[in-house]
């Protein structure tokens, strides 16, 4: 078997992303959407599709979708309609899903993705625009549970009718890595907008990936397959990588890609066929007769626009300007909205942007990585942590003591100052304690004193080191330096 030259091919990828919205009630019924309730307790006859029930559109579903549309530079339709998407499945007792088809509420936008690694280690990152074809509103189905009863599939309909948006991209993505970056960007945007928690592992963000390959430089796209069942960002990247290889190998053997839907198997790390185009559903879409057209007024658009938060790219530039930090640091701090909020609160309580960014970028991020937790699960509040920065800025502790106190704060209650005291780490700024040590060190090193007085001023570091050692690191180094200098100047 010859080796395949992958550079002869280029992949084309388009993603369909579903986001579960954080509204309090369902899309068309006044029932709670809260996650984790006992099965089938968050229901009305409407969710079950009983005849005689009428859906009522949740205003927040419309507002949240417009928010996403504005944040991704979409055009917002002033009038759009809902449609029925018909199919049979046990978790869909109505027999149809309310969705949008021909007139989505938002269309024609874009999302900018950044490739940090494009220019190598310190090189510039590159930016690329990915077109957003459409964003539409729909409702979720219920959940089939296959692993709780040995003989039967159980159905929980709490999720039936929970509002979703579907974001469809143009086929603008070219590599699995770009698809990964695009998804990360969507997660970041929905979190900044607070319309979805963006958690792919828990299913509040889901992704179907369409992928084809073509000879590099070709103008005509190849036949695509659609990948489903990927429950993490990394799995989307892996599944696409696997599928691109499979398609290239197939073409190289003289075969043809068949349009079909594939399932990703995360254990075997491969894709397998789920259904072919012939078996695809015919959804028999038609306009939903029970919901009037969705009209977006000027007032509504203005209100939603006024609610838009500062977006990550803008916030990054502000951090660079206001706090005088590098693009990379500002980016790391603004990647996650809640990390950026935490950092800004820390700046407020401590008054020192430089110390706050140092602490967050090194110690706080280290702990988040080690424990695989998000900043919202971080055990120390920004107020408490501000106290630690104050201690250091006031020169009451040295830098290694600061790290020790930080670690203690993760495990124990109490203010930074109380912990410093109980750990015996408070720096001594009392000349009465330091002076005798300084005198002793000078007396024991007549040679060094002589050389210092002859002009070898660099030796001051040696004397400071000696004094710090004898004070077990507790003497305030600035005061130590001052006292040594004045003693050595005396003759
Ligand atoms: P469908 O109606 O079957 O869902 P769409 O035209 O809506 O098809 O496309 C679905 C997704 O597939 C979009 O994200 C689009 O960018 C992507 N797509 C379309 N054609 C191709 C192709 N040849 N290769 C890869 N992705 C594609
Ligand atoms: Mg589609």
Ligand 1 atom at shortest distance from the alpha carbon of 171 = 16
Q: What is residue 441's predicted lDDT score, i.e. its pLDDT?
A: 94
Identify which of 95, 93, 107, 111 has the alpha carbon closest to the alpha carbon of residue 136.
107
Ligand 1 atom at shortest distance from the alpha carbon of 223 = 23
123: pLDDT strictly greater than 60: no
Q: Which residue's alpha carbon is at the smallest distance from atom 20 of ligand 1?
A: 171
Q: What is residue 120's predicted lDDT score, i.e. its pLDDT?
A: 57
Substitution site in 210, 220, 281 for ligand 1 pocket (most atoms within 8 Å of beta carbon): 210
- Which residue ranges have their beta carbon within 6 Å of ligand 1? 12-16, 168-171, 210-212, 221, 224
- Say if CB 415 and CB 389 are below 8 A apart: no
Ligand 1 atom at shortest distance from the alpha carbon of 221 = 23
Average pLDDT value for residue range 31-53: 91
Q: What is residue 237's predicted lDDT score, i.e. its pLDDT?
A: 97
**CA of 226, nearest ligand number:** 1
Substitution site in 14, 99, 208, 227 for ligand 1 pocket (most atoms within 8 Å of beta carbon): 14
118: pLDDT strictly greater than 80: no
DSSP state of 308: P
DSSP state of 195: S
The rounded mean pLDDT for the chain is 93
- Say if CB 263 and CB 229 are below 8 A apart: yes
Q: What is residue 190's predicted lDDT score, i.e. its pLDDT?
A: 97
Q: Of 95-99, 205-209, 390-394, which gets the smallest average pLDDT? A: 390-394
264-291 tens-digit pLDDT: 998 898 988 888 887 778 899 999 999 9
| Cβ count within 10 A of residue 62 | 20
Q: Which residue's alpha carbon is at the smallest distance from atom 4 of ligand 1?
A: 16
Q: Of 46-50, 75-79, 150-154, 473-477, which gets the smallest average pLDDT? A: 473-477
154-170 tens-digit pLDDT: 999 999 999 999 999 99
Ligand 1 atom at shortest distance from the alpha carbon of 172 = 16
- In the reported structure, the alpha carbon of residue 187 is separated from the centroid of ligand 1 by a whole-number distance in angstroms of 21
Q: What is residue 5's predicted lDDT score, i.e. its pLDDT?
A: 73
**By percentage, how much of the chain surpasses pLDDT 90?**
81
Tokens of 213: 């390959």
- In whole angstroms, give the CA distance from residue 61 to residue 135: 12
- Say if CB 257 and CB 240 are below 8 A apart: no
- In the reported structure, the alpha carbon of residue 448 is separated from the centroid of ligand 2 by a whole-number distance in angstroms of 80
**CA of 130, nearest ligand number:** 1
pLDDT-derived band at 1 (thresholds 50, 70, 90) equals: very low
Average pLDDT value for residue range 410-414: 95
**CA of 15, nearest ligand number:** 1
Identify which of 316, 335, 310 has the alpha carbon closest to the alpha carbon of residue 184.
335
Q: What is residue 49's predicted lDDT score, i.e. its pLDDT?
A: 85
Q: What is residue 6's predicted lDDT score, i.e. its pLDDT?
A: 78
Average pLDDT value for residue range 130-134: 98
- Say if CB 135 and CB 69 are below 8 A apart: yes
**Which 3 state secondary structure label does DSSP give 403?**
helix
**CA of 170, nearest ligand number:** 1
- In the reported structure, the alpha carbon of residue 205 is separated from the centroid of ligand 1 by a whole-number distance in angstroms of 19
Average pLDDT value for residue range 57-85: 97
- In the reported structure, the alpha carbon of residue 16 is separated from the centroid of ligand 2 by a whole-number distance in angstroms of 7
CA dihedral 83, 89, 94, 98 (to 10 degrees): -20
- In the reported structure, the alpha carbon of residue 202 is separated from the centroid of ligand 1 by a whole-number distance in angstroms of 25
295 forms bridges with which residues in the sheet?
79
Phi, psi of 228 (to 5 degrees): -125, 170
- In the reported structure, the alpha carbon of residue 260 is separated from the centroid of ligand 1 by a whole-number distance in angstroms of 12
Q: In what order do the strands lie in the sheet with 106-115?
A: 75-76, 106-115, 126-139, 163-169, 9-20, 205-215, 225-228, 260-265, 270-276
291-312 tens-digit pLDDT: 999 999 999 999 999 999 999 9
- In the reported structure, the alpha carbon of residue 87 is separated from the centroid of ligand 2 by a whole-number distance in angstroms of 15
Q: Of 126-130, 282-286, 394-398, which gets the smallest average pLDDT? A: 394-398
- In whole angstroms, give the CA distance from residue 47 to residue 97: 11
């Amino acid at each position: 078997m010859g080796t395949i030259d992958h550079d002869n091919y280029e992949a084309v990828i388009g993603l369909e992303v579903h986001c579960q919205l954080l509204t309090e009630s369902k899309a068309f019924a006044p029932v709670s959407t809260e996650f984790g309730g006992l099965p089938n307790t968050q229901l009305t006859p409407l969710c079950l599709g009983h005849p005689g029930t009428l859906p009522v559109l949740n205003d927040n579903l419309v507002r949240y979708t417009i928010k996403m549309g504005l944040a991704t530079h979409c055009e917002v339709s002033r009038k759009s309609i809902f449609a029925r998407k018909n199919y049979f499945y046990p978790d869909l007792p109505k027999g149809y899903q309310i969705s949008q088809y021909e007139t989505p509420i938002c269309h024609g936008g874009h999302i900018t993705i950044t490739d940090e690694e494009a220019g190598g280690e310190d090189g510039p990152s590159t930016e690329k625009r990915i077109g957003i074809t459409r964003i539409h509103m729909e409702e979720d189905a219920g959940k089939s549970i296959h692993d709780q009863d040995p003989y039967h599939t159980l159905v929980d309909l709490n999720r039936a009718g929970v509002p979703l948006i579907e974001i469809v991209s143009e086929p603008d993505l070219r590599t699995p890595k770009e698809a990964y970056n695009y998804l990360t960007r969507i997660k970041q945007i929905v979190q900044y907008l607070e319309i979805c928690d963006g958690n792919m592992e828990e299913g509040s963000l889901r992704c179907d990936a369409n992928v084809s390959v073509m000879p590099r430089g070709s103008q005509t796209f190849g036949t695509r397959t659609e990948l489903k069942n990927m429950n993490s960002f990394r799995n989307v990247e892996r599944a696409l990588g696997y599928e691109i290889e499979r398609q290239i190998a197939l073409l190289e053997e003289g075969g043809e890609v068949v349009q079909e839907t594939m399932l990703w198997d995360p254990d075997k790390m491969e894709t397998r066929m789920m259904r072919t185009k012939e078996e695809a559903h015919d959804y028999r879409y038609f306009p939903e007769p029970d919901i009037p057209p969705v009209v977006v007024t000027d007032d509504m658009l203005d209100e939603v626009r006024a609610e838009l938060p500062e977006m990550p790219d803008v916030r990054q530039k502000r951090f660079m300007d206001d706090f005088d930090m590098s693009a990379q640091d500002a980016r790391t701090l603004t990647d996650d909205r809640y990390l950026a909020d935490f950092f800004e609160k820390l700046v407020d309580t401590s008054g020192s942007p430089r110390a706050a960014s140092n602490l967050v970028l090194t110690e706080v991020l280290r702990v988040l990585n080690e424990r695989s937790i998000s900043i919202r699960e971080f055990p120390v509040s920004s107020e408490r942590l501000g106290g630690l920065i104050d201690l250091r800025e006031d020169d009451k502790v040295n830098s290694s003591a600061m790290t020790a106190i930080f670690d203690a704060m993760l495990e124990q209650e109490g203010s930074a100052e109380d912990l410093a005291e109980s750990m015996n780490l408070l720096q001594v700024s009392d000349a009465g304690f330091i002076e005798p040590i300084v005198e002793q060190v000078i007396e024991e090193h007549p040679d060094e004193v002589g050389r210092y007085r002859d002009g070898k001023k660099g030796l001051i570091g040696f004397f400071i080191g000696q004094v710090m050692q004898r004070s077990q690191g507790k003497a305030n180094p600035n005061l130590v330096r001052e006292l040594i200098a004045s003693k050595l100047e005396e003759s």
